[in-house]
Structures are given as structure tokens and as C-alpha cells.
A = this chain, B = another copy of it.
Amino acid sequence: MIRLRLDVSGGQAIRVPLGCEDSHYLVDVMRLKAGDSLEVLTRDNTVWSAVLEPNHMVRLQTELDRHNRLPRHVTLYQALLKGDHFGAVVDRATQAGVGRIVPIVTARCIVREVSLNKRARWSLLAKEAGEQSHRIDVPDIGDLASLDSLVPGGGAFGCVLDPRAAYDRPWLEPQHGPVELVVGPEGGLTPDEVSRLQSVGFRPISLGPRVYRAENAGAFATVLFLQ
């Protein structure tokens, strides 16, 4: 079943005009015709069965169950990466089930700014990866933040990926409640940065003896947190 995210509130028999891109996706790429069924994810994170109507309209029918809500909310503070690697993070972490992605600048970041274009592209990647994985809630992309501004939110388990940390798994307990995860750039965080994060409550954790590409680390950790 094709899923589409639309920026509307859910409601029975609501008709929604499609934007150009969504219409192109449904009609030209996915070959849907008027009368064909699809599912729509709404702004309020509900999922509706829906029908494609003529003239680029979609009509919502009934609300579907919420069985695919994620078991916990993971915020990924990801250092900016070279090339299009941050986009790869957005794609993979969204598939893995991350709830929010916040780009951060750290000492070893080579890229240090986020253009409006790039940010729009990341939002699109999150939307597409979320639809493809049948997620109800697509992660939002936060504003660029500095590492120094990070403090774990109340009740959240704050942690920072650090290959020097001990290789154990107690950080997978408790298995409920929000997670805030910091992942560094290609060259890693500096020891000073890890110390600073530790001093405000982020726990250094290791995913084991392997060293993951920056594009994979956040997604792999999220898979474990959401197991």
C-alpha cells in the first residue's frame, strides 16, 4: 500500500488537494489512477485509508490503527558531515525509527553551515524514508545547534557515542522513555567535547568493538534502542 504524508488534520471524508510533487509521485511514478486506494499520514500523526480522486484530489476515509507507533522517542544530535552524508543519516535514521534529528556543529566538523536548500532536502528525505517504512510520525529536522548548547531533557536518557567508552549494554536499560543521542562527525568528537557532554549528563556509550561510518552509527544505535 502506498503511503503519503499530507500537511492536513485527519477527518472523515475530508478532501485534500495534492501539491504538484505529491500528484506527480502518485500518478506518474506509482501509476495510481482515480479510484485507487492509498494511505495518508496526517499532520496530527494519524493514518487514514484514502482514495485518489480526479483533478489531483485525495479523499480520506477511515482512520487506521496505531499499531506502528514507535515504542520510544529517540532524538539524534548528529554532527554535520561532508558531502551528502548527512542526508544519508536522515534517510537511514528515519528508517530505523528516530523521532527527531538535530544537526550540530562540533570541533572537527568540516561543514559548519546548513543552507535552506539542504534543510529542505533533509525534510524531504525524512518524509520519503518515513513513508517508505510505514511510519506514522516522520521525524522533524531541528535547527542547527552548537554542541555546547546540548543538555539532556528532563526524563530523557542522554548518551554520546564514543568508541573509547566501555563495550557493555546496560545503556539499553531502561527500555522505555525518551533517548537523546549525540553522534560526532567523521573524525569523531574530541575528548574535551565528550567530557563536556558527560559533565552535563550525557553518558558515553559504545556500540561494540566495531567502528561505524558516521552515516550508519546513529541508525544502528536507534535500531538497538527501539528493539
Contacts and interface: CB of A to CB of B under 8 A. Distances in A.
B67 A227 contact: no
Interface in A213-227: 213, 216, 219-220, 223-224, 226-227
Q: Which size bracket describes the interface of A in this complex? A: 20 to 34
A210 B169 contact: no
A170 interface: no
Interface string A124-139: 0000010011110000
A227 B4 CA distance: 33
B213 A95 contact: yes
A97 interface: yes
A25 interface: no
A93 to B, nearest CB: 10
A92 interface: yes
A68 interface: yes
Contacts of A134: 209-211
Copies of this polypeptide in the complex: 2
A68 B135 CA distance: 35
A173 B63 CA distance: 36
Contact of A220 (B169, B211, B213, B223): B223
30 contacts: A67-B209, A68-B209, A68-B210, A69-B209, A92-B216, A95-B210, A95-B212, A95-B213, A95-B216, A95-B220, A96-B216, A96-B220, A97-B210, A132-B213, A133-B210, A133-B211, A133-B213, A134-B209, A134-B210, A134-B211, A135-B210, A169-B227, A172-B227, A208-B226, A216-B219, A219-B220, A220-B220, A223-B223, A223-B224, A224-B224
